[in-house]
Amino acid sequence: MIYTKWLGPVCLLLSATVSPAQNFLGISTSPNTGTHRTYLNPALAAETPHWLFLHAGSANLHVNNNFVRYQAPFSLLKLFTGNVPDAYRQANGNVRFESDYTTEILDGKPKNATVWGELRGPAIQMRLGPTAGVLTFSTRLRGIGQVNGASEQLLSALRASLNTSSLYSIPSRDNRFGVNTNAYAELALSYTNTIVDADGFRVSGGLTVKRLRGYSAGSFVNRGLDYQLEAGTGPNADPALVVSRVNADLAYTTFLENRRLTPSTLFSASAPGRGWGFDLGVSVLLQSDDDRLLQLGLGLTDLGGMQYTGEVYDVNQRNVRFEADDFNSTNVGSFEQVATVIRNRLGILEDADPSLFRVGLPTSLNLTADYQLSARTGISAVWLQNVRAADDPSVRQPSLVSIAPRFETGVVGLSLPITYINRGFTLGLTIKAGPVRVGSDNLLGLLGSGQNGLRPRGTDIYAGVMLGIKSRDEE
């Protein structure tokens, strides 16, 4: 969220800005959240305490990066809720966002970032019988933008609109990074059942099959970029980014260009993407003599991919000059528009006929452990590990480790997820009140600002409505 002439649109393609949702960790780590557990590992549904679980809907926005820290004089919570003080607004009422409202993290490490929005729609989970297993129907809409492995030097130059004299005339060679976006919906069916039921432990397995419909995708997989910054000449000349060599794959769709995601768009037969996805997993429930429960899980989620119809280019060019005004915010505002500017600068002719390209899903290996300390207290641990290669044309599940202690009754509850992600720790808070759950996996990111000194690297917020019916204990 850095509004300079370059950084708004260019960050969509060439820089780290801001992580898919952080997985609703304050919700999904609770054994009482039905369909949310299935997204981590379909086998976890075997131990659901409900005969019937109804999910009305949940929404999540997650942002995280390791390139800049937020230090505006107002918090992101005030920005999202429209409560920014008048002192930081323009005459027309818009928020005035200065470049010094962020500061760079200069540690010499590759920069990664994700913006992930997710809507988990209506879903139902039902136990088919004492030994017949658990069936889950779920719906979901995801929108993801991601940068992986970008160089610190390149991002610093872009953030300064190339006006970084200390970097002028210094060659930078063999930069490699990837930029990927994907917006798609899924309709999923999961089945879970117990495989082994012995004295003191149970082993269960689960499988999810997902039909995918894609609305927008973009991929820029850069296998080698050599460049240097050059100062402008003349009284009004701007500096330039001179690319001596670039070798990359570029693919993108234009379906959502000048179009919004309305219900008619979501169900449009002309949506450019189709595909299948799969989740599979196993879980083990161990029960001690004092009835304390430990559930362990191993899941592999988001296997598969999607095929899109769009524009596909093999970029292999030399001696290309990019001016700062090429990416003026009046000219570009989306991945598609940025890609068009780059294609024109590289002298690549527009694809006359639509081409097919494939993008992967954010496949991850998920390890979970949940220990029920008492009827109302417990603690969960989650390790989500990205398994996609660096040069895959795919968005990725950001790798993370989280521990979430909780207190929960049938009516109220509290969870405190502590998460390590993108080389930093976040502290979350989730509150349950009847069927409503509201929380954040990065609470300090919502509240931090330059005035309180917290300087967050991202934020996270989610809310949902769900209800479990007829506990198994009520039989």
Q: Is-contact 188 213, C-beta < 8 A?
A: no
Predicted pLDDT of residue 290: 67
Predicted pLDDT of residue 129: 87
Backbone torsions φ then ψ of 265, nearest 5 degrees? -70, -40
Predicted pLDDT of residue 231: 73
Query: Considering only CA atoms, which of 305, 338, 269, 280 is closest in space to residue 42?
Result: 280
Measured distance CA(424)–CA(49) in Å, rounded: 34
Measured distance CA(183)–CA(117) in Å, rounded: 9
Burial 408-442 (b: 16+ CB within 10 A, else e): beeeebebbbebebbebebebbbebeeeebbbbbb
Tell me the one-letter amino acid at 456: P
Residues 6+ apart with CB under 8 A from 264: none
Predicted pLDDT of residue 4: 34
Predicted pLDDT of residue 293: 87
Helix (H, G, I), strand (E, B) or coil at 137: strand
Kindly list the averaged pLDDT for each block of 10 residues, start to end, along the chain of length 475.
Answer: 33 36 84 95 95 96 91 90 91 86 88 92 94 96 92 77 54 79 96 93 96 94 84 66 87 85 86 97 88 91 96 87 67 66 75 86 97 93 94 92 96 96 91 96 92 89 93 51
Q: Is-contact 303 281, C-beta < 8 A?
A: no
Residues 6+ apart with CB under 8 A from 70: 1, 76, 101, 102, 445, 448, 449, 455, 456, 457, 458
What is the residue whose two structure tokens read 């990205």? 386
Q: CA geometry: angle at 372 spanning 368 and 376, to 5°?
A: 130
Distances (CA, A) of 142 to 84, 128, 139: 28, 29, 10
Torsion sign over Cα 265, 185, 18, 9:
negative
Query: Considering only CA atoms, which of 267, 393, 273, 335 is closest in space to residue 115?
Result: 335
